[in-house]
Amino acid sequence: MNETNLVHACTTNNLKEVKRLIEQEHINPSCRYNAAIRLACCYGFFNIVEYLLANKHVDPSALENTPIAIAAESGYSDIVELLLKDPRVDPSDDDNYALINAVKEDHLQVVKLLLTDPRVNPFVIKPWHCKSLVMEQLFEEYWYKLDSEKYNELAKNK
């Protein structure tokens, strides 16, 4: 029952209750496959994500790095930036899911953040992933800078 209360507190941005449940009720914040951090990322609750990351029991890489993938897909650049600072997080997990979905949802700031991580592979992005001309131009410039031969090959297949 208290696990349900923790999950609810994380979905309603109730940091005070999250802290109380973890510190006083001794609820494991990694319960339900780290649902607390996944949900806080899903709803964009930065303060809760920040608090949970400080807890040694929380795994921000749970379920193929779902927290960063969710935050990226939802456009929460502040949370993506925070998660990128955690060495346990791998933004390239699940075939660069975070990047692909940030591109598909046209979250330019998140895409730029993800591209700062050397583990992220920009070549997984195809022109049809880009909803906007701005996003497509960003990747064309980025691809060309990284590998002009590979860029020319991609351009032929457009």
Extents of the domains making up the chain: 1-59
Question: What pLDDT is stored for residue 2 in this prediction?
Answer: 85
Residue 154 has pLDDT above 60, yes or no: no
Residue that is written with structure tokens 């590979």 in the block: 150
First CA to last CA distance, the chain: 53
Q: Which tokens sit at 55?
A: 């807890």
Average predicted confidence (pLDDT) for the chain:
90
> Chain centroid to CA 94: how far?
12
Question: What pLDDT is stored for residue 57 in this prediction?
Answer: 96
d(CA 93, CA 120): 9
| Band (148; pLDDT cuts 50, 70, 90) | low
d(CA 139, CA 132): 11
d(CA 34, CA 31): 5
| Band (149; pLDDT cuts 50, 70, 90) | low
Residues comprising the chain, all counted: 158
